C-alpha cells in the first residue's frame, strides 16, 4: 500500500482514454514505433471501429473526454476528420481532444466546425512562433511536449519557455507509450518545477492505480491511458475513484 506523501490532498488525476487512429481503425500504440501498430482488439474492446471503441469505453466508465491521435494526419498520409465527426455526433456531450499534426492555423481551420479541442504537438511545429499564432487563434488549444528518450521533438525553445505555453500541457514520452514501464517520473517533476501553475497531462507508461496515485500526488491534472484500460489493468472500480460521476 502506498503511503500518501502529500498531507494536502489534490483533486484526483483524470484518466483520459486514447484512440490512436490509423487507416480508419483504432490501433494499439507501442513505444512510438508507428510502423508496427496493429488494430486494437481485446476482450474489453472487441472492435477497432472508432465509434464502437468509444461506446465500449463509455460503457466502462463516464469519461468526460477522449484523446484522438490521428496518426495518418500526423504522418501526412490523410486524416480522420470524418471519424471524429461520427464520434461527436454519436456522443455530443463528450469532449474530444485531437492531435492531427496541427502545425498552423491554416491546417486547423478545416476542423473548426467539429468543435474539438486541438492538441498541438511540438513534433509537427516548425517554430515557436508557429505555436504563438495557433494559440492566438485557438486559445483553448493544448500543447504537447513530444519526446522520445533524450530526443526532444520540435523547437527546443518550447521545452524551456513556459511563458509560451497554454494553460494545459501534455508531457508526451513516446518511448513509454504501451510499454507498461510507468510514467516518466523525472520529466514530469522537471516540468512541474519549471512551471508549477501549468496543468500537466502525463502521456505514456501508465500501468495501474498506483501510477495514477503517484501522478495525483505530484499535482498532475490528467493522464492519457490506452493499454491499461484496454487490457483491464484499470478496471471500472478503479476508474470510479478518479471519475466523480462514476461514484454518484
Q: How far, in Å, are 35, 46, 97, 154 from residue 131 at the CA level?
A: 28, 38, 17, 11
Q: How many CB atoms lie within 10 A of CB 123?
A: 20
Residue 150 confidence (pLDDT) = 86
Cβ neighbours of residue 58 under 8 Å, at least 6 residues apart? 91, 94
pTM of the model: 0.89
Residue 35 confidence (pLDDT) = 60
Residue 177 confidence (pLDDT) = 80
Residue 209 confidence (pLDDT) = 94
Residue ranges covered by each domain of the chain: 14-247
For the segment 116-170, what is each residue's pLDDT rounded down to a tens digit? 999 999 999 999 999 999 999 999 999 999 998 889 999 999 999 999 999 999 9
Where do we find the cell 498552423? Answer: 104
Cell numbers describing residue 199: 496543468
- C-alpha 202/C-alpha 191 separation (Å) is 11
CA–centroid distance for 58 within its chain: 17
Residue 2 confidence (pLDDT) = 38
Residue 89 confidence (pLDDT) = 97
Cell numbers describing residue 127: 517554430
Cβ neighbours of residue 41 under 8 Å, at least 6 residues apart? 47, 48
- Which of the residues in the chain have pLDDT under 50? 1-9, 246-248
Residue 204 confidence (pLDDT) = 85
- C-alpha 126/C-alpha 5 separation (Å) is 41
Could you tell me which residues are beta bridge partners of residue 203? 172, 224
66 neighbors 97 (Cβ within 8 angstroms): yes
**Domain 14-247 sits in CATH 3.20.20.70:** yes
Residue 187 confidence (pLDDT) = 94
Amino acid at each position: 500500500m502506498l503511503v500518501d506523501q502529500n498531507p494536502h490532498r489534490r483533486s484526483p488525476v483524470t484518466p483520459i482514454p486514447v484512440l490512436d487512429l490509423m487507416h480508419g481503425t483504432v490501433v494499439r500504440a507501442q513505444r512510438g514505433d508507428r510502423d508496427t501498430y496493429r488494430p486494437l482488439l481485446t476482450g474489453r474492446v472487441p472492435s477497432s471501429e472508432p465509434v464502437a471503441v468509444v461506446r465500449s469505453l463509455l460503457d466502462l466508465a463516464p469519461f468526460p473526454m477522449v484523446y484522438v491521435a490521428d496518426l495518418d494526419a500526423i504522418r501526412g498520409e490523410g486524416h480522420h476528420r470524418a471519424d471524429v465527426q461520427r464520434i461527436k455526433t454519436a456522443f455530443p456531450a463528450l469532449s474530444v481532444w485531437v492531435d492531427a499534426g496541427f502545425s498552423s492555423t491554416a491546417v486547423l481551420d478545416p476542423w473548426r466546425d467539429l468543435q474539438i479541442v486541438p492538441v498541438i504537438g511540438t513534433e509537427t511545429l516548425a517554430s515557436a512562433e508557429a505555436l504563438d499564432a495557433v494559440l492566438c487563434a485557438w486559445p483553448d488549444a493544448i500543447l504537447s511536449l513530444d519526446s522520445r528518450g533524450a530526443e526532444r521533438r520540435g523547437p527546443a525553445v518550447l521545452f524551456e519557455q513556459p511563458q509560451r505555453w497554454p494553460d494545459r500541457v501534455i508531457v508526451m514520452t513516446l518511448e513509454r507509450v504501451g510499454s507498461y514501464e510507468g510514467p516518466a517520473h523525472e520529466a514530469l517533476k522537471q516540468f512541474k518545477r519549471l512551471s508549477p501553475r501549468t496543468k500537466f497531462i502525463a502521456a505514456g507508461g501508465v500501468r495501474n492505480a498506483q501510477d495514477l496515485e503517484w501522478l495525483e500526488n505530484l499535482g498532475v491534472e490528467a493522464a492519457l491511458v490506452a493499454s491499461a484500460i484496454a487490457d483491464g489493468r484499470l478496471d471500472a472500480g478503479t476508474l470510479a475513484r478518479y471519475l466523480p460521476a462514476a461514484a454518484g
